[in-house]
């Protein structure tokens, strides 16, 4: 009797945004790991939620992470460790969109699809900083009590960034539970968007990053990256597929975890 063919697991890597950590994916990660879908029932989902450098429980201080590549290093390490022939679906949230894009540039052969969940999405014609600059120049959102500060006197390090309490409650977590707002405010750390470093990088290539399937998930109640800006990024760099979540704020993985998990499972089944 012939043995049944071995099921190759579907790897899903969930990547957080600025000031956050892998902890913010706890609801979606739990749903993916316990899903009743045929793929999950066969043990086919493996979920990773890495803390990027100087984020979450990573022990480094921000001053020890001078470049965006070093910041993204833990994600690159996850892909580097994948067995030959296996691929991962990368899901980037907010600034995490630039991290998953860099990972796809470095390891296109190990990426089944790149998913941007209300995330910054670079194109292949401008430096990765372009979408950050367009966001800032467009005055899409009043920054309220957010803080941007120099880390050193001679500007050799990227400026630090921290969400303010008012901005967090009104524009980032406004549809989340009180418990998740308290959780977020207690766990966020001072981070950076690494604008200075990203401005001097070359555009991502069409033959590497550009060759990987891309899906954008628009969160229609996002007050941090408003729907209009999300749609501008899709028009600036067309994707293979676009999905929408009507009642999701910026922290969609906390405010609408069932819908985010369903989108990710659908993408994993289609592109893996």
Q: Is 222 a known active-site residue? A: yes
Q: What's 210's DSSP letter? A: G
Both structure tokens of 193: 């968007």
Token pair 């207690």 is at which residue?
A: 186
For 47-61, write each residue's pLDDT tens digit. Answer: 999 999 999 999 999
Beta partners for 149?
160
User: How far, CA to CA in Å, does 15 sit from each of 33, 150, 202?
Assistant: 16, 25, 22
Helix 227-236 and helix 129-137, axial crossing angle in degrees, nearest 10: 140
Q: Is 94 a known active-site residue? A: yes
CA dist 224 and 169 (Å) reads: 11
For 118-170, write each residue's pLDDT tens digit. Answer: 999 999 999 999 999 999 999 889 999 999 999 998 888 999 999 999 999 99
For 85-96, write each residue's pLDDT tens digit. Answer: 999 999 999 999
Q: Is 93 a known active-site residue? A: no
Using an 8 Å Cβ cutoff, are 263 and 237 in contact?
no
Of 125, 102, 100, 128, the C-alpha closest to 267 is 100
- What's residue 154's pLDDT? 86
Both structure tokens of 236: 């600036």
For 166-219, write each residue's pLDDT tens digit. Answer: 999 999 999 999 999 999 999 999 999 999 999 999 999 999 999 999 999 999
Is the pLDDT reported for residue 68 higher than 50? yes
Phi and psi at residue 88, in whole multiples of 5°?
-125, 150
CA dist 7 and 182 (Å) reads: 40
Average pLDDT, the chain: 94
Using an 8 Å Cβ cutoff, are 28 and 257 in contact?
yes
Catalytic residue among 58, 123, 180, 222: 222
- What's residue 161's pLDDT? 98
For 98-114, write each residue's pLDDT tens digit. Answer: 999 999 999 999 999 99
CB atoms within 10 A of CB 2: 4
**How many Cα atoms sit within 13 Å of 89 on the Cβ side?**
27
Both structure tokens of 55: 């984020």
- What's residue 5's pLDDT? 43
Beta partners for 218?
244
Both structure tokens of 106: 């470095």
Catalytic residue among 20, 51, 250, 255: 250
For 218-267, write each residue's pLDDT tens digit. Answer: 999 999 999 999 999 999 999 999 999 999 999 999 999 999 999 999 99
Q: Which residues of 23-41 are buried (b: 16+ CB within 10 A; e: fewer)?
A: bbbbbbbebbeebebebbe
Is the pLDDT reported for residue 1 higher than 60? no
User: Which residues, 6+ apart, have CB-to-CB distance to 18 below 8 Å?
Assistant: 94, 95, 161, 191, 192, 193
Catalytic residue among 55, 94, 192, 237: 94
Local confidence band at 9 (pLDDT 50, 70, 90 cut-offs)? low
Is the pLDDT reported for residue 40 higher than 80? no
- What's residue 134's pLDDT? 97
- What's residue 2's pLDDT? 45
DSSP reduced 3-state for 102:
helix
User: Which residues, 6+ apart, have CB-to-CB distance to 59 below 8 Å?
Assistant: none
CA dist 261 and 146 (Å) reads: 29
Average confidence (pLDDT) over 6-17: 83
């Amino acid at each position: 009797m012939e043995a049944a063919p071995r099921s190759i697991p579907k790897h899903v890597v969930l990547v957080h945004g600025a000031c956050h950590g892998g902890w913010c994916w706890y609801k979606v990660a739990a749903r993916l790991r316990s899903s009743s879908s045929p793929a999950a029932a066969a043990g086919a989902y493996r979920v990773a939620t890495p803390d990027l450098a100087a984020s979450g429980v990573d022990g480094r201080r921000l001053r020890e992470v001078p470049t965006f590549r070093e910041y993204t290093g833990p994600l690159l390490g996850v892909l580097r460790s994948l067995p030959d022939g296996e691929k991962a679906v990368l899901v980037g949230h907010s600034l995490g969109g630039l991290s998953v894009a860099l990972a796809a540039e470095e390891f296109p052969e190990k990426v089944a699809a790149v998913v941007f969940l209300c995330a910054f999405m670079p194109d292949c014609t401008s430096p990765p900083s372009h979408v950050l600059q367009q966001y800032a120049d467009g005055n899409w959102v009043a920054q309220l009590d957010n803080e941007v500060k120099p880390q050193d006197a001679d500007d050799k390090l990227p400026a630090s960034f921290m969400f303010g309490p008012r901005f967090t409650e009104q524009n980032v977590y406004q549809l989340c539970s009180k418990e998740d707002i308290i959780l977020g405010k207690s766990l966020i750390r001072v981070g950076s968007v690494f604008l200075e470093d990203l401005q001097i990088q070359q555009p991502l290539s069409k033959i590497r990053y550009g060759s990987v399937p891309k899906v954008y998930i628009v969160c229609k109640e996002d007050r941090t990256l408003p729907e209009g800006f999300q749609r501008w990024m899709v028009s600036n760099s067309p994707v293979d597929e676009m999905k929408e979540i009507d009642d999701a704020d910026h922290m969609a993985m906390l405010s609408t975890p069932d819908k985010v998990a369903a989108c990710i499972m659908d993408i994993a089944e289609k592109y893996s």
